[in-house]
Chains A and B, each alone.
Chain A
Amino acid sequence: MATDDVWILGIHMTKFGKHPDLDTIDLAADAALNALGDGGVSMKDMGVVAAGNLMAANAGIGQQLQKQLGQTGVPVYNVANACATGATALRTAIMAIKAGECDMGLAVGVEKLSGAGLLGGGGMAKADKKVYEPRGRYGSVATIDGRIGTETMPGVFAQVGMEYGHKHGGATFELFARISEKNHAHSTLNPLATYSKKMSLEEIMGDVMIAYPNTRPMCSANCDGAAAAVVVSGSKLKTLDPTQRRRAVKVSASVLTTDPWEEACQVLPNVNTLTRNAADQAYEQSGVSPEDLDLVELHDCFATAELVHYDNLGLCAPGEAVPFFESGATWRDGQKPVNVSGGLESKGHPIAATGIANIWEVCHHLRGEAGDRQIEGATVGLAHVIGLGSACGVHILESAAA
């Protein structure tokens, strides 16, 4: 372990779901304390705290957390980066270690999202007297959501999947529903998932349509949850005890990208190019190739999104995502298991927690601690998140034995 390596020493995710009796701080503190405990360290060891929360991004979640767990005076970075918020918090702590400012840091992501309903979209407030006046950067005189396309997340990501189908063929309503069927089947082995119920293809296709071709079970579940990770430098890790070293997971690549300008990227968010760029950089940084990956947790915020990311992450040949899925490769007993946690569609998507929870899932397998859903002998995994706007986080993780 070279001194500039960064490792995950401790990591934890809370049960995802409804937590009516726990507030944001309770959830964040639960994840943080358990991550510290998992790593065998305490708040006093942390040289930096990076905290992510999207829905109350101005609340200073990091300092609130310190007030519950330990006000040690170290720098806090409160981050908000759409659905990549958790990955951004983790990467912030990693950067502090890489910069040599400290040798250990804590990253936390937390969200209270139960009952939040449809995200994105909406309109202007109604005035007493209706007089058309141009407002905003489009000079609009009335609500444009619903009149000029859709701002809702299920609708945006539906178009992303449909566009892929238009280019490469084969992406039918049924195919997208079968991706969802896979993830719901995987969730039955995950006790921390919001929903862990197997669903038949008929149930999925016959459920409430949200934005064709995404029915309700094909959309990520709004829920409460938190996840936290303790990261440590390679040189510090060498001084820790053998158990800590054995369970440590190497961060072989940590990448964050945004979308480079391309035609149409401000019309329909382009979730492809920045994911491809992040994946390319991550494979380059780590020396790992897609063939080496034992499991992948990717951002299936909607069933239509999972398909395009098979291609974007290089899990299949360009344009071949449909036959790749149809080969059965991405089921947990396939050659490239994807979202064995159940994915966002069943595990749930407490936005800022997701980017660390995905890494928790991968770490769990690399440590051989994933119980019934363990991918046997897993040594290398990839975790991917994307938030619109856009931001994409990709982390490649390797077990200490790898």
Chain B
Amino acid sequence: MGRQVPLVDYLVLGEQPHLEANECTSCGARYFDRRNACASCGATSFHKAAITTEGELRAYTIVSMAAPGVPVPFVAAVIDCDGTSIRANIINTEPDPENVKLGMKVRLATYTVGTDDEGTEAIGFGFAPLEAPDGNR
């Protein structure tokens, strides 16, 4: 297998893929982008914090019209992972309101985004329902 890179730098690959936040050392506010300072308290020191891979669906939309090149439909969502909010797609389920329910439990899952001309594979992430709509795991 060739080299793998994460779609974004806050996705940590390996045995147990997970997301990692920049956590403010002073107030605990969490961010996913490169930081200059904390928007909550102004401190400039951060450490990495692993985010739990299970959470609950807090908000979603099913996008049917998007910019050229973005495949539709897809489910864009906000997941509450034990108090840390994550922006992600809901994957591995049909993108319709019957299969996507507010409050449902979801778990981080990874997939291949594509492969570049040097054979490097980009790995993306989404959240998949923990249970099928009929209650079976």
Contact = CB atoms under 8 A, between A and B. Distances in A.
Interface in B62-88: 62-67, 69-72, 74, 76-78, 83-88
Interface in A140-185: 140-152, 154-156, 158-160, 162-163, 165-166, 173
Contacts of A151: 67
B89 interface: yes
B78 A268 contact: yes
B109 interface: no
Contacts of B87: 148-149, 267-268
Contacts of B78: 149, 159, 163, 264, 267-268
B137 interface: no
B78 to A, nearest CB: 5
Contacts of A211: 61-65, 76
A118 B66 contact: yes
A206 interface: no
B97 interface: yes
A209 interface: yes
Contact of B58 (A143, A156, A163): A163
A141 B65 CA distance: 23
A155 B76 contact: yes
B7 A147 contact: yes
B31 interface: yes
B113 A209 contact: no
Interface string B90-127: 00000001000011000000000110111010101100
Given A138-B8, A159-B76, A145 B66 contact: yes
B77 A138 contact: no
A208 B63 CA distance: 12
Nearest to B31: A266
A126 B71 CA distance: 16
B66 to A, nearest CB: 5
B85 A268 contact: yes
Contacts, number: 165
Interface in B16-33: 29-33
B59 interface: yes
Contact of A146 (B9, B74, B114): B74
B5 A141 contact: yes
A166 B100 CA distance: 13
Contacts of B45: none
Contacts of B72: 146
A266 B39 CA distance: 10
A162 B85 contact: no
Nearest to A138: B8
B40 interface: yes
Contacts of A158: 61
Contacts of A147: 7, 89, 113, 124
Most buried by A among B5, B63, B67, B78: B63
B58 to A, nearest CB: 6
Nearest to A128: B117
A160 B124 CA distance: 25
A152 B64 CA distance: 11
Contacts of A142: 7, 113-114, 122
A300 B26 CA distance: 38
A137 B60 contact: no
Nearest to A157: B61
A240 interface: no
A210 to B, nearest CB: 5
A121 B117 contact: no
A147 B126 CA distance: 8
Contacts of B120: 131-132
A210 B9 contact: no
B112 to A, nearest CB: 11
Given A121-B70, A143-B70, A263 B88 contact: no
Interface of B: 5-10, 29-34, 39-40, 58-67, 69-72, 74, 76-78, 83-89, 97, 102-103, 113-114, 116-118, 120, 122, 124-125
Task: Identify the 8 closest CB pairs spanning chains A and B, nearest first.
Answer: A139-B9, A146-B70, A158-B61, A264-B85, A163-B59, A150-B76, A212-B62, A137-B33
18 contacts: A121-B66, A121-B67, A130-B114, A134-B5, A137-B33, A137-B34, A142-B113, A142-B114, A143-B70, A145-B66, A146-B76, A147-B89, A147-B124, A150-B61, A151-B67, A155-B66, A210-B64, A211-B64
